[in-house]
A = this chain, B = another copy of it.
Amino acid sequence: MGQADDEYTMLGRELSMFIRRWTRLRERRTDQYGYGLDRAAFAVLAHVVFDGAARLSALAAGMCVDLSVISRQVAALEAAGLVARTRDPADRRASLIVATEAGMELTERKREQFVTLLRKLLDDWTPDERAEFARLMGRLNGALTAHDEGK
């Protein structure tokens, strides 16, 4: 394996390691508030809060998650009173999902916790490093999106 190959291989190992570590870390923090929700339900809730009302298929596409996952998570969030569902009057197949007041408050609490964790992890980075990392991460996501759509 060549020098350049080696760099990509190492980056790949870092990416895999990050996913395992990050997933495990977030796992433990999932249900602190006793809502009994799925691991990823909060991600769906956050998406609804930040990006506004959406139908389930749009949520699935926007989050890159299977529609069946969204369907179950939204049902759980609805039962917990964190989102509300209204039938789209223009298209009775579709539902529109919006966050309730409680959903928005919970999301804000989770977001603050999350930012606190991230601050601690990136404490000794320079602002430039943090900005550059965020930029490159976003660019990688863009490349992944393009790669997906190219198939």
| Copies of this chain, count | 2
Measured between beta carbons, the chain B residues less than 8 angstroms from A65 are: 20
- Chain B nearest CB from A140 CB (Å) reads 6
Task: Count chain A residues whose beta carbon lies closer than 8 angstroms to a beta carbon of B.
Answer: 54
Measured between beta carbons, the chain B residues less than 8 angstroms from A133 are: 11, 133, 136-137, 140
Measured between beta carbons, the chain B residues less than 8 angstroms from A50 are: 13
Chain A contact residues, majority secondary structure: helix
Q: Are B19 and A22 in contact (CB under 8 A)?
A: yes
Q: Interface on A for B, CB 8 Å cutoff?
A: 1, 5, 7-25, 43, 46, 50, 63-65, 111, 114-115, 117-122, 125, 129-134, 136-141, 143-145, 147-148
